[in-house]
Amino acid sequence: MEMALLLLSSGVRVLPQHYGSCLQEEHLSLFRALLEQGDPLPSGEPLQDFLRASLSAQHRYLEWLPQLLLTGFDPMLLLDAAWIASVTDDVLNFALEFTNWKRIPPAVKQILSSHAEKSTWVQRKHFDSLPPLSHLCRLAVRAHLRPETLRSDHAVRHLPLPTCLQDYLLYRDVRQAYGSPARESERHRD
């Protein structure tokens, strides 16, 4: 682990398949360090390998999924039929928290509906309602931030916003509701 961090600090580039390897081997602190590097996230063919690897680490999702979604990874990329059918209720609900759940594409809605009929999945009650305006604003602000801004809390913490709004942009409310551990920047601030 120390060697990998040393290589990262000296400028080694991360390939999309490295993210999946970290999840597969459950090197979650290295996974978080890779995310902060700012290299491209999995897409295309490496995305399918990454989704399979994410299933093997789902029992520890609070250690990696929040960081992945906070870096700007589109949660809709997770929501395919195989992933939805394979993850736990908490993992699925957590991923949905990072979306506008009332504007999910019809194909994904159909997959979710079918999954609900065939499984014991119980979606969070607030998914039946329109998202609050505050959540929609959070999604809009985050959509306008550059990907490199989302890679670490540091850039969000330097936005000219009150701390409570910075926390909201960083989904602190959602992470606390699911029992996600505080991020490094929050431990130093609190």
Per-residue pLDDT at 129 = 94
Instruction: Kindly tell me if the per-residue pLDDT of 8 is higher than 80.
Output: no
Q: How far apart are CA 34 and CA 16, in angstroms?
A: 10
44-80 pLDDT, tens digit each: 888 999 999 999 999 999 999 999 999 989 999 999 9
Cα-based torsion angle of the residue sequence 14, 20, 22, 28 in order, rounded to the nearest 10 degrees: 110
Most confident of 30-34, 48-52, 135-139: 135-139
Cα–Cα distance list, 59 to 53, 120, 178 (Å)? 12, 18, 13
More confident residue, 35 or 181: 35
Phi and psi dihedrals of 43, rounded to 5? -155, 170
Indicate if the pLDDT at residue 187 is higher than 90: no
Token reading at 146 = 């550059």
Q: What is this structure's pTM?
A: 0.89
